């Protein structure tokens, strides 16, 4: 991908590929820092990083089957079953029969799981607030706007 830009009568070629590569690297580095920070926060809870991701999906999407959850988190059905077993032992979730079809079993988040999600997200937001202390209110608003725009565009591309 190349883009020509005219400046002062001269044609300057801008290498979009370098910008895209830089953005990808930036996102990868940010994701790494977020993951490390998330692991630190989770050390105070009876839940692993993978269990937290699963818990977030069930909290955000509503009661899911193990099959649905395994697709969302990208793990094998058997691995997801083991994950849910451990979360159920820690009284974070429970399996419940679907009210419309008793053959279907869904994962339901219990109060302890809701509490963990709420506390961990609050700590993540506090961390982000600390990171963004040097930004102006306008810069934070613009950052948020661009992140929402990027996410919207990702969904459009993924739905093609």
The DSSP line for 133-153 is: GGS-HHHHHHHHHHHHHHHHH
- Reading the chain (160 residues) residue by residue, the pLDDT tens digits are 444 444 543 333 467 888 899 999 999 999 999 889 988 999 999 899 999 999 999 999 999 999 999 999 999 999 999 999 999 999 999 999 988 888 999 999 999 999 999 999 999 999 999 999 999 999 999 999 999 999 999 999 999 8
Q: What residue spans define the domains of the chain?
A: 1-43, 44-158
Q: What architecture (CATH level 2) is domain 44-158?
A: Orthogonal Bundle (1.10)
> DSSP assignment of 114-128, as one string?
HHHHHHHHHHHHHHH
Q: Is the pTM for the entire model greater than 0.85?
A: no
């Amino acid at each position: 991908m190349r883009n020509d830009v005219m400046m002062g009568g001269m044609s300057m070629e801008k290498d979009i590929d370098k910008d895209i590569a830089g953005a990808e690297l930036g996102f990868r580095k940010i994701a790494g820092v977020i993951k490390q920070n998330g692991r630190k926060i989770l050390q105070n809870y009876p839940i692993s990083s993978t269990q937290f991701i699963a818990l977030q999906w069930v909290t955000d999407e509503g009661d899911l089957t193990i099959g649905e959850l395994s697709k969302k988190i990208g793990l094998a059905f058997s691995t997801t079953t083991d994950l849910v077993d451990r979360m159920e032992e820690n009284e974070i979730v429970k399996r419940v029969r679907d009210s419309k079809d008793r053959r279907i079993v869904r994962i339901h988040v219990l109060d302890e799981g809701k509490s963990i999600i709420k506390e961990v997200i609050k700590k993540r937001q506090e961390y982000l607030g600390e990171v963004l202390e040097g930004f102006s209110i306008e810069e934070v608003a613009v950052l948020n706007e661009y992140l929402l725009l990027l996410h919207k565009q990702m969904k459009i591309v993924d739905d093609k």
